[in-house]
């Protein structure tokens, strides 16, 4: 069952559950209430769906006790691919290591009111802040670099910045999956400092947001997504300013 529903006023939901009856019951409840719903029969299918960009959910409901890819490793893979809020659904209480990596939990069997309350309480991530009016790179710093260094050397500076951002992005995925607030803040501090020195303004601002992230990491997934957009913007800047 893919992409059913369709009221744009409601969150898009990805449901991951190996139990056919549970999928059908939850799907019926959600679609009757206006949600757009995508379903996956197991963790591997959900990861493939996200990799192939078949859906972009704001909420993921996942049975954390399925055969194959499940539990903490599955949550980690979902965090790498989506900025959605992730809620566990399970027939038994969650161990602490799972509680620490999800945004909420509903115990099966749950009634329609419990499911609706979970979705009503969902707060969508903040909208993109990467506006076209925000420079990818500070024109002043770029001009200074060009006065100080040959063009190929300036290009290499930004190649190094992009490579470092991608590396920090991988570390950030792991920290978010583990709900490691301190590590998220450390990564943000490093990004803010390095990108600030290079004049990469979009990335530096996002690093500062990560450094100030709350203990609940409410916006970290969305900021991580924006960080990827920032380094993609840097790559486009390189091709425009320093064509090979």
pLDDT at 197 over 50: yes
Strand-pairing partners, residue 40, are 16
Please report which confidence band the pLDDT of residue 2 belongs to, taking 50, 70 and 90 as the band edges: very low
pLDDT at 216 over 80: no
Cα–Cα distance for residue pair 76/227, rounded to 1 Å: 18
Tell me the per-residue pLDDT of 54-99, one tens digit each, with 9 for 90 and over: 788 888 999 888 888 888 888 888 988 887 888 988 877 878 878 7
Tell me the per-residue pLDDT of 166-188, one tens digit each, with 9 for 90 and over: 999 999 999 888 888 899 999 99
The DSSP output letter for 199 is T
For the ranges 7-16, 107-116, 125-134, 223-232, the maximum mean pLDDT occurs at: 223-232
Contacts of range 175-183, beta carbons closer than 8 Å, 24 or more positions apart: 176/79, 176/217, 176/220, 176/221, 176/224, 177/72, 177/75, 177/76, 177/79, 177/80, 177/101, 178/76, 178/100, 178/101, 179/100, 179/101, 179/217, 181/213, 181/215, 181/217
The DSSP output letter for 3 is S
**Confidence at residue 10, expressed as pLDDT on a 0 to 100 scale:** 66
b/e 106-122 (16+ beta carbons within 10 angstroms → b): eeeeeeeeebeebbeeb
Please report which confidence band the pLDDT of residue 122 belongs to, taking 50, 70 and 90 as the band edges: low
**Confidence at residue 16, expressed as pLDDT on a 0 to 100 scale:** 93
- Helix ranges restricted to H, 13-57: 20-32, 43-51
Cα–Cα distance for residue pair 166/2, rounded to 1 Å: 32
pLDDT at 126 over 90: no
Q: What is the mean pLDDT of residues 228-232?
A: 90
The DSSP annotation for 120-178 comes to HH--PPPPP---TTS-SS-HHHHHHHHHHS-HHHHHHHHHHHHHHHHHHHHHHHHHHHT
Report whether 47 contacts 149 (CB < 8 A).
Answer: no
Which residue bears the tokens 């500062």?
208
Superfamily of structural domain 139-241? HPT domain (1.20.120.160)
Q: What is the mean pLDDT of residues 102-126?
A: 73
Domain ranges of the chain: 12-121, 139-241
Minimum mean pLDDT range among 103-117, 150-164, 197-211: 103-117
Mean per-residue pLDDT over the chain, rounded: 83
**Confidence at residue 7, expressed as pLDDT on a 0 to 100 scale:** 41
The three-class DSSP label of residue 17 is coil
Which residue bears the tokens 């965090």?
79
Domain 12-121 sits in CATH at 3.40.50.2300
Residue 144: both structure tokens together: 């200074």
In order of 138, 199, 235, the CA distances from 202 in angstroms are: 9, 9, 13
The answer, as to whether pTM is greater than 0.85, is no
Cα–Cα distance for residue pair 142/198, rounded to 1 Å: 8
Q: What is the mean pLDDT of residues 2-8?
A: 41
**Confidence at residue 127, expressed as pLDDT on a 0 to 100 scale:** 45
Minimum mean pLDDT range among 148-157, 172-181, 218-227: 218-227
pLDDT at 190 over 90: yes
Please report which confidence band the pLDDT of residue 121 belongs to, taking 50, 70 and 90 as the band edges: low
Please report which confidence band the pLDDT of residue 195 belongs to, taking 50, 70 and 90 as the band edges: very high
Strand-pairing partners, residue 87, are 61, 104
């Amino acid at each position: 069952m893919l992409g059913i529903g369709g009221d744009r006023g409601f969150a898009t939901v990805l449901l991951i559950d190996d139990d056919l009856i549970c999928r059908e019951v939850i799907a019926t409840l959600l679609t009757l209430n206006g949600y757009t719903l995508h379903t996956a029969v197991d963790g591997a299918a959900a990861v493939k769906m996200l990799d192939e960009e078949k859906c972009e959910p704001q909420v993921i409901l996942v049975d954390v006790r399925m055969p194959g890819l499940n539990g903490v490793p599955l949550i980690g893979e979902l965090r790498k691919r989506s900025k959605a809020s992730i809620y566990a659904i399970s027939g038994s209480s969650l161990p602490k290591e799972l509680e620490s990596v999800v945004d909420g939990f509903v115990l099966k069997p749950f009634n329609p009111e419990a499911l609706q309350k979970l979705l009503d309480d969902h707060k969508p991530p903040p909208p993109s802040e990467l506006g076209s009016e925000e420079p990818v790179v500070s024109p002043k710093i770029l001009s200074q670099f060009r006065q100080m260094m040959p063009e190929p050397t300036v290009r290499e500076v930004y190649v190094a910045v992009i490579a470092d951002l991608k590396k920090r992005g991988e570390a950030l995925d792991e920290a978010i999956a583990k709900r490691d607030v301190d590590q998220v803040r450390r990564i943000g501090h490093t990004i803010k400092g390095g990108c600030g020195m290079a004049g990469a303004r979009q990335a530096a601002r996002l690093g500062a947001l990560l450094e100030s992230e709350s203990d609940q990491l409410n916006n970290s997934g969305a900021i991580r997504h924006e960080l990827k957009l920032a380094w993609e913007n840097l790559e486009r800047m390189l091709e425009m300013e320093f064509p090979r």
